[in-house]
């Protein structure tokens, strides 16, 4: 167990959803000039006959947006830990063109990393089956997605189409979560610094990680309850009563209407979140019968150039290693 932070986290990262509803400064609106720059870069990629992920940031040049990109990265690491980019005229583009723009922005923000054993650098979040099908992951269904963090410095989503109803994206500050526990239930803090077994943390094998880690002046969080429970059960060490109580407390706080923020990702919206400071979720939704109209988002996992240094007992993880035998592997 590392050093336990015994004071509340201060600053922009410890936000509450109810306060952000009165302040839209977390939303960045693309200007006409920015859109023109993105479309110029898109044309350069298309002229070379390139597609995602087979082009570099040099092949998607957006020098006019260098200051914006730098501000995005700073906000993700040193600010609230998330942002929403709005105003991309998605109706102008095919899905492939929108993917090029999105991936190109990601290349300038950081380094895209693999999201599964197949090596996919751009994920597709859409409803393709039920959770009781073994090769369908929860983000590929229309069911509620519990709060969690992904296996990268930053996760991003681009909305191509939204559902018929529902499907709200929900964010909760891990820093506010920590402050709430420290103030109201400090007896559980030490438990959340314990090392838990977690699936998919060590190249497909269970690894050890705490839920909270304090290192080099920054608090970091990682929460994937389902994968913790699976790993602990499989190892023959199911969670204890007090550990279950601690995780139940985490879930209840993040679902507090005053603390979380829910948003509908409209077509063209891009959302980015720091996986060490913000946990994300999604409400259940009803989709269209027409497959072409169904909810569809593109997902990026990014390794960031300005990412924090992590403690030795809080292993960094950027992506899931590609495996040659991926066609024979069933993902959780």
pLDDT along the chain (332 residues), means of 10: 91 97 93 98 98 98 98 98 98 98 98 94 81 44 80 97 90 98 97 93 79 97 94 96 98 96 96 98 87 93 97 88 55 28
- Confidence (pTM): 0.91
Packed helices 95-109 and 32-47: angle between N→C axes, nearest 10 degrees: 110
Residue 29's CB: how many other CB atoms inside 10 A? 11
Give bridge partners of residue 230 from the DSSP assignment.
none
Confidence at residue 115, expressed as pLDDT on a 0 to 100 scale: 93
Query: Has residue 273 been placed in a domain?
Result: yes
- Nearest CA among 187, 110, 144 for reference residue 285: 144
CB atoms within 10 A of CB 33: 10
> Is 159 within a domain?
yes
Evaluate whether residue 332 is within a structural domain: no
Determine the Cα–Cα distance for residues 60 and 38; give it in Å rounded to an integer: 8
pLDDT of residue 117: 87
Rounded Cα distance, 26 and 49, in Å:
35
Q: In this structure, is residue 1 part of a structural domain?
A: no
Residue 329 lies in a domain: no
Give the pLDDT score at 1.
66
pLDDT for 170? 96
Beta carbons of 8 and 183 less than 8 angstroms apart: yes
> What pLDDT, on a 0 to 100 scale, did the predictor assign at position 331?
30
Give the model's pLDDT for residue 142: 57
Residue 9 lies in a domain: no
67 φ, ψ (degrees, to nearest 5): -65, -40
Amino acid 225: pLDDT: 95
CA-wise closest residue to 17 among 195, 260, 291, 250: 260
95 in a domain, yes or no? yes
What domain range includes position 307? 22-323
CATH number at residue 139: 3.60.130.10
Query: What's the CA gap between 98 and 122, in Å, rounded?
Result: 12
Decide: 275 and 157 in contact? Cβ < 8 Å: no
Peptide bond into 53 cis (omega under 30): yes
Kindly list the distances between the CA atom of residue 266 and the CA atoms of 85, 87, 294, 301, in Å, as whole numbers in the listed order: 11, 9, 13, 20
pLDDT at 131: 40
Q: How many domains does the chain have?
A: 1
pLDDT of residue 203: 63
The pLDDT assigned to 22 comes to 87
In a domain, residue 62? The reply is: yes
DSSP string for residues in 112-154 = E---STT--SSEEEE--S-TTSTT--GGGSSS-EEEE--SSSE
Cross-strand partners of 85: 28, 270
């Amino acid at each position: 167990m590392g050093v336990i932070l015994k004071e509340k986290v201060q600053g922009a990262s410890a936000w509450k959803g109810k306060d952000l509803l009165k302040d839209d400064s977390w939303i960045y609106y693309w200007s006409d000039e920015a859109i023109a720059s993105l479309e110029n870069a898109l044309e350069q990629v298309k002229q070379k006959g390139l597609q995602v992920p087979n082009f570099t940031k040099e092949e998607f040049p957006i020098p006019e947006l260098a200051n914006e990109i730098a501000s995005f990265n700073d906000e993700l690491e040193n600010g609230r830990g998330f942002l929403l980019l709005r105003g991309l005229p998605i109706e102008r583009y095919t899905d492939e063109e929108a993917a090029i723009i999105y991936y190109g922005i990601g290349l300038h923000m950081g380094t895209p990393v693999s999201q599964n054993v197949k090596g996919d650098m751009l994920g597709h979040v859409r409803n393709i089956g039920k959770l009781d099908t073994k090769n369908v992951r929860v983000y590929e269904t229309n069911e509620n997605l519990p709060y969690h963090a992904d296996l990268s410095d930053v996760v991003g989503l681009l909305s191509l189409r939204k559902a018929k109803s529902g499907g709200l994206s929900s964010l909760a500050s891990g820093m506010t979560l920590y402050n709430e526990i420290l103030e109201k239930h400090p007896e559980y803090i030490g438990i959340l610094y314990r090392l838990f077994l977690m699936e998919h943390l060590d190249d497909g094998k269970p690894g050890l990680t705490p839920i909270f880690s304090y290192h080099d002046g920054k608090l970091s969080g990682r929460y994937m309850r389902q994968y913790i429970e699976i790993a602990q059960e499989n190892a023959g060490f199911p969670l204890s009563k007090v550990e279950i109580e601690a995780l139940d407390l985490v879930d209840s706080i993040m679902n507090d209407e005053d603390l979380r923020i829910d948003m509908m990702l409209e077509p063209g919206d891009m959302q980015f979140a720091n996986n060490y400071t913000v946990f994300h979720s999604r409400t259940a939704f009803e989709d269209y019968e027409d497959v072409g109209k169904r909810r569809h988002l593109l997902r990026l996992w990014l390794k960031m150039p300005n990412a924090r240094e992590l403690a030795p007992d809080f292993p960094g993880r950027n992506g899931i290693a590609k495996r040659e035998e991926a066609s024979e592997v069933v993902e959780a």
